[in-house]
Amino acid sequence: MAVPAPDALEIYRTYHTNLRLDGHDAPDVMHAVADSLRVNGQAHSLEVHAHHTLLELLRDRLNLTGAKECCAEGECGACTVLLNGRAVNSCLILAVEADGEEVVTIEGLAANGRLDPLQSAFLEKGAVQCGFCIPGMIMAAKYLLATNPHPTVPEIQAGLAGNLCRCGGYSRIVDAVAAAAKAER
Amino acid sequence: MDNHWIGRSAERVGGVDRVTGAQRYAADIRLENVLQVKLVSLDCARARLNAIDKRQAAKIEGVRCILTAGDLPGSPLGPTPRYGPTHADRPVLAVATATGAGMPSAPLPSPDEKFALAMAGRRFESIALKPTRRLALPRPDPAAGLGVSSAWSAMEIGDRGRQ
């Protein structure tokens, strides 16, 4: 006999109950994210499931699909966004945790049709191949340059260590970050 | 002569979209009124597929059709489409002798994910391990989901470690 897998509804009910025991009394495990959540400078007010991630909020609720869901467990960095200026894997942050915080995604970088220097450098250096990792790469690089405006190559490599590129285009990506740092000097 | 490419870099097609997040990949596209497809997978490594009984699944409300390998058009590599030349031994849907655990045997398109959790009834023999044993499957339960479907459901509630 094939062994039946655990009953998904049972898991869900347990999940519900545990949340209630933890003192969450919102009906149907929905939590309000007040309008103090700011994404790319815009305030948002919406209800989210307690277990939804910031990435799901961005992609599924706000239709900001620049941040990618790839591994969904913090391995690949494709979902990297800035949370209060720090690069985070948005797949590892709960949506409710972002309440009251400032989020910047790849869509928020280019202002008035002008590309961010990092975006221009990625284009100029040919650092973009399939492009799937690039939003995460650029956001991670944004944080790197904010904290270390003139990184050495090893520092760039370390700064992007949590971002994987399956095309394997790392050297041009590193070149692009170095060029952007130089341009801003 | 037009030589404007000499001495300058070629622009990456789609480059601007890819550095601004505007590029839409398959997972970024949202469509309305789509059918959900549930792939029913084999749960043993090697098996001979004796029969696929579609009747149980067909009874479930919302299931529009049940496809098996026999319903697919042929391809140059074989009677059933394959995962490209490098995976010529891997049909997209299981054929008579299945060679991979998790190989989908029947996708069930349904407009509602809830119904898509149903499984098609299948009968197959596990060749390598127990040549004569027929694996019976639990009765399909569209509300709970079984096997691979449960894995999907558990992920849906944000608990990826449970399965």
Q: What tens-digit pLDDT sequence spans chain B (163 residues)?
A: 667 778 877 788 889 999 999 999 989 988 877 777 777 766 666 666 677 777 777 777 777 777 777 777 765 555 666 666 676 667 777 766 555 555 566 565 554 443 333 334 444 444 433 333 333 333 444 443 332 222 222 222 222 233 2
- Residues of chain A contacting B146 with CB distance shorter than 8 Å: 4-5
For B162, the 3-state DSSP assignment is coil
Residues 6+ apart with CB under 8 A from B117: A8, B38, B142, B143, B144, B145, B146, B149, B152, B153
Q: Does the beta carbon of A4 lie under 8 angstroms from any beta carbon of chain B?
A: yes
CB contact under 8 A, B20 and A107: yes
Would you state the pLDDT for residue B69? 74
Cα dihedral A102, A180, A146, A162 in deg (nearest 10): 80
DSSP B39-92: EEEP-SSSEEEEEEE-HHHHHSTT------GGGSPPBTTBSS-BS-GGGTT-BS
Determine, for residues A109 and B20 on separate chains, whether the beta-carbon distance falls below 8 Å: yes
A–B CB contacts, 8 A cutoff, strictly below: 109
Calculate helix-pair angle for A117-124, A134-147, nearest 10 degrees.
Answer: 120
Contacts of A130 (CB under 8 A, 6+ apart): A166, A167
Nearest Cβ partner of B150 from A6, A107, A122?
A: A6
Nearest residue, CB atoms, B21 vs list A51, A73, A135: A135
pLDDT in tens, A112-144: 889 999 999 999 999 999 999 999 999 999 999
pLDDT at residue B94, rounded to an integer: 72
Poorest-pLDDT segment among A23-27, A82-86, A93-97, A171-175: A23-27
Per-residue pLDDT tens for A48-90? Answer: 888 889 999 999 999 999 999 999 999 999 999 999 999 999 9
Is A97 at the interface with chain B, CB within 8 A?
no
Residue closest to A148 by CA, chosen among A117, A126, A178: A178
What CA–CA distance (Å, rounded) separates B128 from A56? Answer: 42
Selected for mutation to probe chain A from B19, B130, B150, B162 (highest A CB count within 10 Å) is: B19
* pLDDT of res. B124: 47
In whole angstroms, give the CA distance from residue A88 to residue A74: 9
* B133 reaches A (C-beta below 8 A): no
Task: Give B148 to chain A, closest Cα distance, Å.
Answer: 8
> Of the candidates B20, B145, B158, which has its C-beta nearest A106's C-beta?
B20
Residue A88's Cβ-count burial label (10 Å; 0-12, 13-18, 19+) is buried
Q: How far is B125 from chain A (nearest CA, A)?
A: 12
Q: Which residues of B63-72 are buried (b: 16+ CB within 10 A; e: fewer)?
A: beebbbbeee
Q: Which residue's entry shows tokens 């469509």?
A: B31
- Closest CA–CA distance from residue A74 to any residue of chain B (Å): 13
* Contact at CB, A4 and B147, closer than 8 angstroms: yes
Residue B91 CB burial class (10 angstroms; 0-12, 13-18, ≥19)? buried
Q: Tell me the chain B residues in contact with residue A4 when contact means C-beta distances shorter than 8 Å.
A: 138, 146-147, 150
Q: Collect all residues of chain B within an 8 Å Cβ-Cβ radius of residue A89.
A: none
Is the ipTM of this structure higher than 0.95? Answer: no
Beta strand A30-39 with A102-104: parallel, antiparallel or unpaired? parallel
Query: For position B11, what pLDDT does the model report?
Result: 80
CB nearest A107 (choices: B21, B25, B151): B21
Q: Which amino acid is at A129?
A: Q
Q: What is the mean pLDDT of residues A140-165?
A: 97
Full-model pTM: 0.64
Q: Identify from A63, A65, A105, A119 which residue to disrupt to test chain B contact, counting B C-beta atoms within 10 A and taking the largest count.
A: A65
pLDDT at A2: 53
Q: Phi, psi (5° rounding) for residue B128? A: -70, -40
Give the tokens for residue A134: 């690039």
Which amino acid type is present at position A97?
E
Higher pLDDT pick, A25 / A58: A58
**Helix/strand/coil for A114:** strand
Task: Test A2 with B18 for CB contact under 8 angstroms.
Answer: no
